[in-house]
Amino acid sequence: MADLTTRFLGIESPNPFWLASAPPTDKEYNVRRAFEAGWGGVVWKTLGAEGPPVVNVNGPRYGVLHGPDRRVLGLNNIELITDRDLETNLEEMARVKADYPDRALIASIMVPCEEAAWKAILPRVAETNADGIELNFGCPHGMSERGMGSAVGQVPEYIEMVARWCKQYYDRPVIVKLTPNITDIRKPAEAARRGGADAVSLINTINSITAVDLDRMAPEPTIDGKGSHGGYCGPAVKPIALSMVSEIARAEATRGMPISGIGGITTWRDAAEFMVLGAGTVQVCTAAMTYGFRIVEELCAGLSDWMDEEGYRSTADFVGAAVPNVTDWKNLNLNYVAKARIDQSLCIKCGRCYTACEDTSHQAIAMTPDRVFEVIDAECVACNLCVDVCPVESCIDMVPMAPGSLDPRTGRVVSGEHGDWTTHPNNPMAQAAE
């Protein structure tokens, strides 16, 4: 059983699995039960400034995208930050931290973009003995209309400024939570680093409308006949989050900056994927909201078994391990040639590969009258579409051609040398090899 103990910004937690700032971490009752269930840490539901708290809608606040059998693939919400008053939250945080000193407890904060507001709240948070703070610059709905959340997160200069205030008035780690509702995720991350933030966490939710009610002619969730865009999360956002994490992990300006990965993490494998792309811890929301706190048992057991199999002694051994292999398209080896190969013993003759290739790709799969499907090497560009649509795992394989063999599609001999776009003859910008 591998040791999952994780150190992130000097904060130790028994495992890298934290609950993201959201309803699962909204109050003492939830957080105590989460810790009892085994979660390594929590980011408390985002706190607002002193005074009357925000209010939430009193109708549906979630919309959903279902997969087969009503499996939750994506969730969207129009919930705001905590709607309980600051004092209550702070008292509860202090009590919970005192009772669970071995767990990470991070305070998430969103107050107006004014120095006074941050200066006022930070000492209060420090008194709870929380291990650090996370600045919520991500919430894409409601709060952004009031100049907070993603409205700040979309302006790198604001991020830098607020991060600097936080480092000035607070002496524990500062994490900046990024909004994905931006064109280039590296810009806010760079700003956070410039402002002195210790880490970034990402992603927060994505602007979305999950569905439209065709009877009421209104987006869902619908409140009294109207709907508003909400924040999207859950398994559907994982690919977007993974890419954003990897961009920050490999960019020169942000390389080495600790990352807490968030977005669609549902199983240990999702978590491992975030971690090898550079995340030191991961945060989970939708999966917990769908299945409850107990999923942490599967997350821990799965990750630990995988680590044992691979010989990793601690999470630090593999965090970032895949980052060197994330590159720009222009560096991909254009001399690498593969061909799809159908394993006839596994093929169930559904013909999906045929339709996909025939209708929308390269007409590289042939069908015999008795419905045997074979790849035509002279046409196959190895696009992988057939592999993706085939219902049988491992039935179609992408087999690399050995250097020296003849590619029947191009009539050229497969080269063993690396050759990419930067030196390709068709590239007008190519630098001639010296």
Ligand X SMILES: Cc1cc2nc3c(=O)[nH]c(=O)nc-3n(C[C@H](O)[C@H](O)[C@H](O)COP(=O)(O)O)c2cc1C
Measured distance CA(268)–CA(298) in Å, rounded: 7
Listing DSSP states for 338-399 in one string gives EEEEE-TTT-----HHHHHHHHHS---EEE-TT--EEE-TTT-----HHHHH-SSTTSEEEE
Beta strands (DSSP E) in 214-258 are 218-220, 230-233
Q: Which of residues 59-98 bind other proteins (CB under 8 A)?
A: 68-70
* Residue 139 designated active-site: yes
- Closest contact distance (angstroms) between CB of 263 and ligand X is 5
Min. distance of Cβ 335 from ligand X in angstroms? 39
Told to check if 22 binds ligand SF4 by CB under 6 A, we report: no
Q: Which stretch binds ligand SF4 (CB under 6 A): 243-251, 303-311, 325-333, 390-398?
A: 390-398
Applying CB under 8 A, among 350, 366, 383, 414 the residue interacting with other proteins is: 350
DSSP-derived pairing of the beta strands 218-220 and 199-202 = unpaired
**CA pair distance 351, 366, nearest whole angstrom:** 10
Binding track, positions 279-318, relative to ligand X; x by CB under 6 A: -----xxxx-------------------------------
In terms of Cα–Cα distance, which of 106, 144, 136, 132 is closest to 25? Answer: 106
- Return the range that interacts with ligand SF4 (CB under 6 A); candidates 70-78, 283-291, 308-316, 389-397: 389-397
The whole-angstrom distance between residue 211's C-alpha and the CA centroid of its chain comes to: 22
The CA distance from 387 to 111, in Å, is 48
User: Per the residue annotation, which of 113, 139, 285, 347 is the catalytic one?
Assistant: 139
Among 352, 382, 386, 387, the residue binding other proteins under the rule CB under 8 A is: 352
Q: Segment 361-420, which members bind other proteins (CB under 8 A)?
A: 367, 371, 391-392
**Nearer of residues 162 and 265 to ligand X, judged by Cβ:** 265
- 154 token code pair: 């979309």
CA 64 to chain centre: 18
Contact residues for other proteins, defined by CB under 8 A: 68-70, 348-352, 354-355, 367, 371, 391-392
Contact residues for ligand X, defined by CB under 6 A: 20-23, 45-46, 75, 77, 79, 81, 108, 136, 138-139, 177, 204-205, 233-234, 237, 262-265, 284-287
Residues belonging to the active site: 139
